[in-house]
Structure 1
Amino acid sequence: MSDATATPMPGPVSVVNEPRWMVPLALFALYVIWGSTYLGIRYALVSYPPFLLAAIRFAVAGVLLFAVLRIRGAALPTARQWRNAAFVGTLLLAGGNGLVCFAEQSVSSGIAAVAVASMPLFAAVFGGIYREWPTRGETIGLLLGFAGVIVLNLGAGLSGAPLGAIALIVAAMSWAFGSVWSKRQDMPSGPMNTAAQMLCASVSLAIIALLRGERFPPHPEPSATFALAYLIVFGSIVAFSAYLYVLKTVRPALATSYAYVNPPVAVLFGVLLAGEHVGVYELAGMAIILVGVGIITMMRVRKA
């Protein structure tokens, strides 16, 4: 699960004197870095238990981001904003990313990324809670996307790991509900929203890890620790900074295009670097899910 929060960001604005190469570089960071985090999680899991791994990742990234923002004069969230950030952060980062880490103990990184791509489908369904019912076109995209989820589950990658498959679906649902709910709440502004969610989610994840009896590894593999550092610095800080940059400089449709690129990138990394196998059902499911999500996105752009 990517680390961008769900609070609506401002639309693209005119940015003067910005180097032209910055946008392609930022998009490259979104496509490649966020796509690679699924494989990074798999490597980190060699030594670190899943929920403790996520807790450490977001605690360190949250503290660093929070400190930088405070040094630059960012305002502290109000008590109400901290409460909302705690709820949303728990849904997105603990329920979403934490369950992805849990699932990747039995499911390949590429398949995990494909399953998480179903998140916009659940978001469209949860929108009905606020009477934002899907249009006819969005309904077609929903049905197509859920058909892709079914096809994906027919493959050996998920059918052989039912607990991991359930965890990924719940992760997508948790992220989707948190996204829909947060849009109507008083959340911290700008990057402080992400810092607050990371800090609050790290507490939730630490509690889950404690209840499951997870412990810090006494002698972690160097590669696992390197993967954790990669997730903290690049997955949670660099890529999110790139996300904020493209949101303010390009059209929203381009800024959120990472949702379509991350799954195939994650699959490619898994196949080339970790020897993961992707079967016909997995490829077909990925294609169907992405087409369904694409239809929903196009319908929403037209409505906007």
Structure 2
Amino acid sequence: MVRIGNIQLPEFPLLLAPMEDVSDPPFRRLCKTHGADLMFSEFISSEGLIRDAIKSRQKLDIFDYERPVGIQIFGGDEEAMAMSARIVETVNPDLVDINFGCPVKKVVCKGAGAGVLKDVGLMVRLTKAVVNSTSLPVTVKTRLGWDETSINIDEVAERLQDVGIKALTIHGRTRAQMYKGEADWSHIARVKNNPRINIPIFGNGDIDTPEKALDYKNRYGIDGIMVGRAAIGYPWIFNEIKHYFKTGTCLPAPTVEDRVEAARNHLKWAVEWKGERVGVFETRRHYANYFKGIPNFKEYRQRMVTHDAAADVYSVMDEVLEKFAGYKIA
């Protein structure tokens, strides 16, 4: 078993990555239903929490059925990070995660996310401030370094462990790479094999098939895998990976019926969470992914993303079921 503080996870847990505008409660619920072992909120600005920004506060919503679940925060000021961790603790998540990996310019320019990779001392101080301000386990998600000439993940892992983090997730790219090129997991394996490291090390980057998940598990010896973009519109990937680990065989691909059920549940749970207007609007971005690979689908997708009433979207989904019943998606 893998332990993060007092949280007990399966022997090789599969984690859902915290993704902006994706990893909200309806999406997390789908991924939990389909086998995710540990999930995280979208990242939340420490400054936004302190200012009582509505959008930041809504990201604190967690539900018992998705546990264990962590709330991820980011920022570049020690006092703000400490205060936001105390705010996070009031909603009783299972852990607090710190984002030192987001490469997006608007975050980096504020000296947060991957921007902190340029200053390991600041990263340590920010982490220590959070650890000292909460009784919850604190974890970190980060990247290899700022660019190829400044890969510092070995030092980062040791120093963050020394100030009290309970697990570390490493995305196998530098900030300069953004999401381009191939993630280099050899650096992640080196951290895992460091005799000084005794916390769980999770790998992230490019895991999009069960075969690759098993290959990376065996090749790099990490404690678990975090799945991000591959789960968008495809929450089945978690159970597919678990099945492949156990049997060496692949589960059948989700049918059109499975995809409609997932999209319908996503919309239903989004409406229950945020109300019909916002729930319908925020689910629109997911339909292209749920129905990827179905030919001549543009008309149906266009109607799904233009209807304002959930009932009308459900009606289009019923048409999809009828039109594409039995269609095999490659």
Q: Flag whether TM exceeds 0.5 (same fold).
A: no
Q: Please report the TM-score for the alignment, with normalisation by the length of structure 1.
A: 0.25
Q: Which has the higher strand share?
A: 2
Q: TM-score, normalised by structure 2?
A: 0.24
**Structure number with higher relative contact order (C-alpha < 8 Å, ≥ 6 residues apart):** 1
